[in-house]
């Protein structure tokens, strides 16, 4: 099963100060052959050259255990205005949904590397998500369960020992 959902009204009120819960639109594909589900901005975004902002989407996603949602900037924003996602590609793991920190609320960090100020209006499409299956190694030993939100899988690991 995979589907997008709105975050709860309570989480929305905590994270999105200048929007209306009723205005949240679930991501959708524009054409039958589109790979990406377009995310609609729930707020007005103004980015000056060199500026970066964390953008709440108001959306969470449920998917199968062997999948992730890859988030990419829409091509038009990258080509025309040199807007990029700070992490280049956002990876939303299946166990991010329903986490204790933020319900699985998806955020996007955008940076303006162009020379002009850019305005993304509330209701504009700005990123796209593509569901992607993944494989694991035969000797994989991961058994931990995610407990929190962004960055929580980096806590308490033994990779640096």
Provide the Cα torsion 150, 154, 155, 159; round to 10°: 180
Report pLDDT digits (tens) over 87-141: 999 999 999 999 888 999 999 999 999 999 999 999 999 999 999 999 999 999 9
Q: What is the largest CA-CA distance in the chain?
A: 49
Q: 18 vs 15, 46, 122, CA distance in Å?
A: 9, 14, 10
Going along the chain from its start, the domains and CATH numbers come out as 3-134 (2.70.40.10)
Please give the Cα distance from 36 to 71 (Å, whole number). 9
pTM of the model: 0.86
Confidence of residue 148 (pLDDT cuts 50, 70, 90): low
């Amino acid at each position: 099963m995979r589907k997008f959902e709105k975050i709860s009204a309570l989480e929305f009120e905590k994270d999105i100060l200048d929007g209306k819960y009723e205005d949240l639109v679930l991501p959708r594909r524009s054409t039958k052959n589109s790979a990406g589900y377009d995310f609609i901005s729930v707020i007005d975004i103004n980015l000056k050259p060199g500026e970066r902002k964390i953008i709440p989407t108001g959306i969470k996603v449920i998917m199968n255990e062997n999948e992730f949602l890859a988030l990419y900037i829409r091509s038009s924003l990258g080509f025309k205005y040199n807007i990029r996602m700070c992490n280049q590609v956002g990876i939303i793991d299946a166990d991010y949904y329903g986490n204790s920190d933020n319900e699985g609320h998806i955020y996007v960090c955008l940076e303006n590397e162009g020379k002009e100020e850019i305005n993304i209006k509330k209701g504009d499409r700005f990123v796209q998500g593509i569901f992607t299956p993944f494989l694991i190694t035969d000797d994989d030993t991961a058994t931990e369960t995610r407990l929190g939100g962004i960055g929580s899988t980096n806590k308490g690991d033994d990779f640096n020992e």
